[in-house]
Amino acid sequence: MAWSNVQKSRAAVALIFAVNGFLYANWVARLPRLQEIYNLDHGQLGLVLLAGSIGALVAMPLTGKVIVKTGSHRITVVMLFLFCLFVPLIPVTPNIYTLWIILFAIGATSGSLDVAMNAQAVLVEQQLRKPVMSSFHAIFSAGMMLGAGSGALFTYFEVSFFLHLLIVMAVSLLIASRVRHFLIPDLREIGQEQEDQPSQNILLHPALLSLGLIAFCCMLGEGAMADWTTIYLEKVSLADRDWSPLGLVAFSTAMMIGRLLGDGARQRLGDSRLVQSSAIVAIAGLSLALAWPVIWTGILGFFLVGIGLATIVPIAYSTAGNISGLSPGVGISMVTSIGYAGFLVGPPVIGFLSDWQGLRFGMAFVLFLFVVMLVLNILAVRRQQKAGI
């Protein structure tokens, strides 16, 4: 049976999500080798990696404006090709300063790609007339899993870092060259009033600001789980070193499961009810891990956090991309910019609080933000009800 155009577009966007995760995980899997090449200690590595986050934060809000003028399909293709081409430069730059520039460029291109491909995902949803955003984010996670696995294989067979990245670049470019023809053109005439609307007014849009803050709380929580679960189980729950990574495994597995099931849950429960239920599950899971710090409650708690957080960011992106009067790219760029800041703010804040009062106290800050996330959603629902939406 022949595929329809929208099915081809859905598959193309899904492959782009997968390639994005695949490329990212491949080079991150070789970070120990990166430290060896440039003789970096942990602090220097952190500063180098910060370049990518700064690049993404700079690029994301600008991407929405560019999408309005040129279309998310074009930006997706350009940024995907640039991302592929920049990645192999990581191990061959002459010094740490040029490495910082390369990682800034990688962060900027991948950040723009995040906005543009999510805008494409919204267009697929609009054509299908049903939610599919969570499935795209699940495919991104699957791409990361494949990328981490291939990175481990290249490391095991002692393939040079540069050759490794050249190979994955070639595979990614091949996929990109095939799928670019099936993206959805979204360049359309928009009113001059919207085009000339100042960016600060867009940012102060109540719905966008609320969605951005919800994404901020959720993404900070995602980053905290990735950074601190292993340390928490080892240092606080006193798990053996061999067992402590199981917290991160549980969280990552739950995120994958939650995103695979998320679109069906959206159809059954609706976005607002699902976000509220998800936030409550995340709160319950982290509360369990903090209240009874032993390995099994920790693993179960982090699994529940993964289930709870899995669909919140996809729903925030989908909702932002469907706000009346705004192009999908503009809405998504604002929400991703605010949300992505959570990845930057989280590590230093949790680290400072943990040094001050212990890791349980630092993780309690994350729990507090989950409560804030729940309250923000409840207030947003009440605002919609008053407005008669």
pLDDT band at 224 (very low <50, low <70, confident <90, very high): confident
Taking alpha carbons only, the member of 207, 176, 215, 185 closest to residue 82 is: 176
Q: Per-residue pLDDT averaged across 4-8, rounded? A: 91
Cα 44–Cα 352–Cα 355 angle in degrees, nearest 5 = 100
- Return the C-alpha torsion angle 202, 376, 368, 233, nearest 10: -80
Confidence of residue 199 (pLDDT cuts 50, 70, 90): very low
- Residue 359 confidence class, pLDDT cut points 50, 70, 90: confident
Query: Rounded CA gap, 315 and 211, in Å?
Result: 9
Q: Does this chain's domain 5-180 share its CATH topology with 199-387?
A: yes
In this predicted structure, what is the pLDDT of residue 194?
45
Contact indicator for 161, 285 with CB cutoff of 8 Å: no
What pLDDT, on a 0 to 100 scale, did the predictor assign at position 188? 55
Whether 183 contacts 76, CB under 8 Å? yes
Q: Is 282 exposed, middle or buried (0-12, 13-18, 19+ CB in 10 A)?
A: buried
pLDDT for the residue 268: 93
Q: Which two tokens stand for residue 76?
A: 């997706």
In the predicted model, is pLDDT for residue 189 greater than 50? no
Residue 110 makes CB contacts below 8 A (sequence gap 6+) with 20, 24, 52, 56, 79, 83
pLDDT of residue 2: 61
The CATH class that applies to domain 5-180 reads mainly alpha
- pLDDT classification of 203: cutoffs 50, 70, 90: low
**What pLDDT is stored for residue 378 in this prediction?**
93
SS (HEC) of 283-311: HHHHHHHHHCCCHHHHHHHHHHHHHHHCC
Which position has the higher pLDDT, 197 or 372? 372
Among 48-52, 84-88, 172-176, 260-264, the range scoring the smallest mean pLDDT is: 48-52
**pLDDT for 234-275, tens place per residue?**
888 888 877 887 888 889 889 989 999 999 999 999 999 999
Question: Please, which pLDDT band fits residue 187 given cuts at 50, 70 and 90?
Answer: low
Q: Say if residue 94's pLDDT is above 80.
A: yes
25, 151 contact by CB (below 8 A): yes
CA–CA gap between residue 377 and residue 380 (Å, rounded): 5
Two structure tokens written together for 286: 């982290």
The average confidence (pLDDT) of the chain is 88
Query: Quick count: other Cβ atoms within 10 Å of Cβ 230?
Result: 20
Contact by Cβ (8 Å): 22, 172: yes
pLDDT bracket for residue 131 (50, 70, 90) = very high
CATH number, domain 199-387: 1.20.1250.20
Q: Which of 43-49's residues contact partners 24+ apart within 8 Å by CB, and which partners?
A: 44/96, 47/100, 48/96, 48/99, 48/100, 48/103, 49/103
> Whole-prediction pTM value?
0.84
- Burial bucket for residue 135 (CB in 10 Å: 0-12, 13-18, 19+): buried
Q: If pLDDT is split at 50, 70 and 90, which confidence band does 190 have? A: very low
Q: Residue ranges of the domains in the chain?
A: 5-180, 199-387
At residue 387 the predicted structure's pLDDT band, cuts being 50, 70 and 90, is low
pLDDT of residue 364: 96
